[in-house]
Structure 1
């Protein structure tokens, strides 16, 4: 283990490596459970010692008690997920003996730790949650001190509050991704939206920006969400990528009118397939994605946009008679389907959908389903933030070469500092999401980027 790295941080690195392996979540679920249990218990062991000494890991100041940390001894805990390896903290030069309440005398059995891990995401967010959780899982002899539980919970809450109020004036984005997911926060109530924003900076680095409740995925909810980002100093990006919710589109067109809006192609494909018979869905799905399969030598910008728009017309002509509803869906907001083609070719596949957030929301929903429900808005938001924050550390950035940087700089100048009259504002570049044109029409003129 590298010097000055706590066992908790080492386990976190293992968790990150597992999620970054590219394997399917279902395939690694058992390993996720075991590593997550190990992470929770290891953190508790280290928090116990920190609370008892009155100082954190690597802190050199005097604490409440005399004594120093003296490395770790190996410990194995049995569970239905398999043996869990832990590092028990050792102490020296203490005036009194330290006894772990988690691993104290009388703890001679181990209940299944899966429940500990999964419910720990949420129940551990309350001051009493960790104490009750370990008592439930390991028996009353393993009760955790209230102060240790409070330290862990307070740290989670403080980290989230710092995240949601931090200054964004030094964050300059090329791409902003917006999405929402409905989670059941209260017993007996309907699912409520959680709104999320993340972006890619001008040096290609992904960054999680905001996690907030939505009340409803309405124009007002999204407008308030974007107002908060702006108030914290976030400047307009070059492109905003989102699904087709009317309230979201309206808020983006109002608050970030200088940006180009890209409709999530994965969402749009699902919308179209919902309007065709199941036995024909594979055929229409292939035809939809063929629209955007452009020649390798095509140039980003007007040429690429025109080619894709021509493919949209060809799709419509081919399927209008048999699947008019699907064609109508495709033609609505058609310009927003091809905005990504104005950007560097190397970025195309990553900036035409919001699937990164959606996949992470899927993991959150799986955990919530296992738990049953979320005990309130604060716990829900902290859970979503914790999952997204951990996931964001594994998100891959985008490639930025000098040529790509020049391309984006020129586009930024045209969008945000236009000196000519051929730049269409966002509301004109895209048709309103709620407007559905029932008939075919020629592809409108496309402006140079």
Structure 2
């Protein structure tokens, strides 16, 4: 699995109880095909709930992806870091835009929103990689400098966990528009939620899962896959080697102490006479 999208949506399915979350996972495999990965109910979106959900996916054969895309829920982020520590994490830019704009007065919202999205709309000649990440991070600094005095709360919102906003720029450029947010799955589940409001409450967990699964399964059949070009596949393979198969350290004897130290394979290995 190259990309894994995670989201939680709330439904009422217990009598005399508040809406409870349904946790969903959807991915893009190495061939670029969309895969509906898993669905489950939970009492909350706590770290324990998400960790149990992700652990269950792993037990059923899900390998650690290259990139996990989600909103910024603390429980979800913590669970991803504990169960998929080798994966990179992209924070949904649409969720972050909503968080930021909630702190902006209506008369300034359009200008601030345009400035926010301009951070991530890089020129066509920018190649994916750490240079692209650096450029976007510099733009975040420029945004903060411009708006800090007027809207300090919005700037603090942007700077919080800022590194996770630009991770997608390390991946193939053709994938950028679709891996920088998790909104598509939220829109699909949101439509289900609107339909459920008509009946007020689902009769139980089983019926809730059955309905949401049917909607997502049907919707996923119409989701477009990702184009995997030779250059894109090479980039993904390089990222996988870097993240999941880092170079091992080689022992080296220190000529002064006659003890072994470690060096990476890219460093010259000195030998004693």
CA distance in 1, matches of 2:7, 2:239: 24
**Partner of residue 97 from structure 2, selected from 266, 269, 273:** 269
Offset of residue 184 of structure 1 = 1.0
TM-score by length of 1: 0.55
CA distance in 2, matches of 1:188, 1:352: 38
CA distance in 1, matches of 2:43, 2:124: 44
CA distance in 1, matches of 2:221, 2:60: 22
Corresponding residue number in structure 1 for 2:185? 357
Whether 2:245 is the aligned partner of 1:417: answer yes
CA distance in 1, matches of 2:26, 2:94: 18
- Which structure has more relative contact order (CA 8 Å, sep 6+)? It is 2
Whether 2:215 is the aligned partner of 1:400: answer no
Whether 2:148 is the aligned partner of 1:320: answer yes
Mind listing any 5+ residue stretches in structure 2 that lack a counterpart?
250-273
Give the aligned length: 249
Q: 1:412 to 1:214 in 2, by over 3 A?
A: same
Larger CA Rg, structure 1 vs 2: 1
Corresponding residue number in structure 2 for 1:202? 30
CA distance in 1, matches of 2:112, 2:34: 33
CA distance in 2, matches of 1:309, 1:420: 31
CA distance in 2, matches of 1:327, 1:214: 33
Corresponding residue number in structure 2 for 1:237? 65
- Any residues of structure 2 matched to 1:34-49 within 5 Å, and which? none
Whether 2:131 is the aligned partner of 1:307: answer no
CA distance in 1, matches of 2:32, 2:115: 31
CA distance in 2, matches of 1:278, 1:212: 38
Offset of residue 187 of structure 1 = 3.0
CA distance in 2, matches of 1:188, 1:288: 42
CA distance in 2, matches of 1:304, 1:214: 38
Corresponding residue number in structure 1 for 2:74? 246
CA distance in 1, matches of 2:77, 2:233: 28
CA distance in 1, matches of 2:161, 2:109: 22
Offset of residue 236 of structure 1 = 0.3
Corresponding residue number in structure 1 for 2:259? none
CA distance in 2, matches of 1:298, 1:276: 31
CA distance in 2, matches of 1:230, 1:216: 20
Name segments (4+ residues, structure 1) moved above 2 Å: none
Corresponding residue number in structure 1 for 2:159? 331
Corresponding residue number in structure 2 for 1:178? 6
RMSD over aligned Cα, in angstroms?
1.0
Whether 2:215 is the aligned partner of 1:387: answer yes
CA distance in 2, matches of 1:206, 1:225: 20
Deviations 1:32-79 (A, max 9, x none): xxxxxxxxxxxxxxxxxxxxxxxxxxxxxxxxxxxxxxxxxxxxxxxx
Corresponding residue number in structure 2 for 1:295? 123
Offset of residue 182 of structure 1 = 0.8
CA distance in 1, matches of 2:44, 2:14: 15
Corresponding residue number in structure 2 for 1:226? 54
CA distance in 1, matches of 2:115, 2:248: 38
DSSP 3-state at the match of 1:407: helix
Offset of residue 420 of structure 1 = 6.7
CA distance in 2, matches of 1:385, 1:234: 18
TM-score by length of 2: 0.90
DSSP 3-state at the match of 2:139: helix
